């Protein structure tokens, strides 16, 4: 407990929030694999318009 300036007491509450930690490496790997799939699809079709339409780029 902490003594307030007016002589009263203040109670301090500790708030604990549990969050799922963001795995940055996993997100980067997913982005790399997505872009690789774009490149592979382009190499197969040689048509950038088709790749954009098919993969939503």
- pLDDT tens digits along 12-53: 656 555 556 666 788 888 899 999 999 999 999 988 888 888
- Phi and psi based region of residue 45 (left: phi greater than 0; alpha: psi -120 to 50; beta: remaining): alpha
pTM of the shown model: 0.53
**What is the pLDDT, as a whole number, of residue 53?**
87
Q: Between vectors from CA 28 to CA 23 and to CA 31, what angle results, nearest 5°? A: 130
Give yes or no for a contact between 33 and 39, defined as CB atoms under 8 angstroms apart: no
**What is the pLDDT, as a whole number, of residue 51?**
87
Q: Between vectors from CA 41 to CA 53 and to CA 33, what angle results, nearest 5°? A: 100
Comparing 10 with 21, which gets the higher pLDDT?
21
């Amino acid at each position: 407990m902490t003594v307030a300036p007016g002589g009263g007491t203040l109670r301090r509450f500790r708030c604990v929030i549990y969050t799922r930690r963001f795995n940055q490496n996993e997100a980067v790997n997913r982005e790399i694999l997505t872009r690789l799939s774009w490149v592979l699809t382009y190499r197969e079709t040689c048509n950038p318009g088709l790749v954009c339409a098919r993969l939503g780029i």
